[in-house]
Amino acid sequence: MLIVDRYLEQVPVRRRSAPSQAALQARCLRFVEQLSLSHFWLAFRVWEPGKEDPLWRVQAVRGHPSPPVASPFATEHQLTSSDTFDAQASSAEERFAQLHGSALLKTPTTIAASSPSSSSQTLLRLTGFISLSATHSRSTEYFSLNHRPLTSPDSALHTLIADLFANSAFAERAQAETEPGLSAASPVKLGRGAANERSPRKAVRRPVYVLDLTVPPNQVIWEGGSGDAVDFEVRTTLTPPLRERGANRAPPLTPPLDAGLAQSQGLRHQRRPRLS
């Protein structure tokens, strides 16, 4: 019999890697919040043991049809046009307002885009909204795939949207809204890694969006069940044939976003390898 006690006791880094209870609860709440933004038809309540009032709750969006169009774990599914196309975008705004208030929903642009194919089936669909109220935080970037939230803010799709946002008319208008006094002599760059004479962090604007990308589930490979690992590739039969592929070479999502996505020939997202 071999008993090992006080394992890694002298390695404080390992011991401190265990998250606290508050950190665990915050991470769980963050995922529930992300999940609620892709499941508008559900009312969510999170409780703490022994407490009478819920810790966190959100009501169901009224009038939103259920169940979801494409389930995350379905193996065979054909995306078809439906009347819920625009309803999902408006429901995303309403659910976002329930969570963060309507202040960040300044002139939101509803996104309802799809990539048509030769048949009546839809191979790629993007719904949601993007607001002109840029923020300094990354907590208002919500992206889900087949109603399944991509939890990591550093995912390739989040990075892609942030880069496109920084170079789009959205960012220019957001800059004008948030920094009306800025002149051309002291420009403030928007997007990832931007810097100016002031604090570089203060100069960075993050987009506010809730987007749900729907692809045929049989083309999605889910790794595990943690929700932050996904690898999918969508190939359409549109002409001209696909020339380049990759997250960094994806089609631009500059306004109008629907046109940008409709012209997409392929989109690939792959999980970034973990460093540890």
Binding interface with another protein (CB under 8 A): 1, 3-5, 7-8, 14-15, 17-19, 21, 24-25, 27-32, 35, 39, 41-49, 55, 60, 66-68, 71-74, 148, 151, 224-228
Q: Which is nearer to another protein, 10 or 239 (CB)?
A: 10
To another protein, the closest distance from the beta carbon of 116 in angstroms equals: 27
CA atoms within a 13 Å half-sphere pointing along the CA-CB vector of 160: 20
CB of 168 to another protein, least distance (A): 31
Q: Closer to another protein at the Cβ: 4 or 184?
A: 4
Read off the tokens for 29: 């709440």
Tokens representing residue 122 in the block: 């839809």
**To the nearest whole angstrom, how small is the minimum distance from the Cβ of residue 74 to another protein?**
8
Distance, CA of 131 to CA of 246 (rounded, Å) = 26
CA distances 22 to 28, 29, 52, Å, are 10, 10, 19
* Cβ proximity to another protein, 113 vs 215, nearer residue: 215
Question: Contact 194/204 with Cβ under 8 angstroms?
Answer: yes
| Least Å from the CB of residue 112 to another protein | 22
Residue with tokens 């394992």: 7
Following DSSP, what letter does each residue of 136-171 receive, concatenated? Answer: S-STTEEEEETTEE---TTSHHHHHHHHHHHTSHHH
Which CB atom, from 45 or from 136, has the smaller least distance to another protein? Answer: 45
Is the CB of 30 or the CB of 136 nearer to another protein?
A: 30
| Minimum gap (Å) between residue 214 Cβ and another protein | 15
* DSSP conformational letter for 219: G
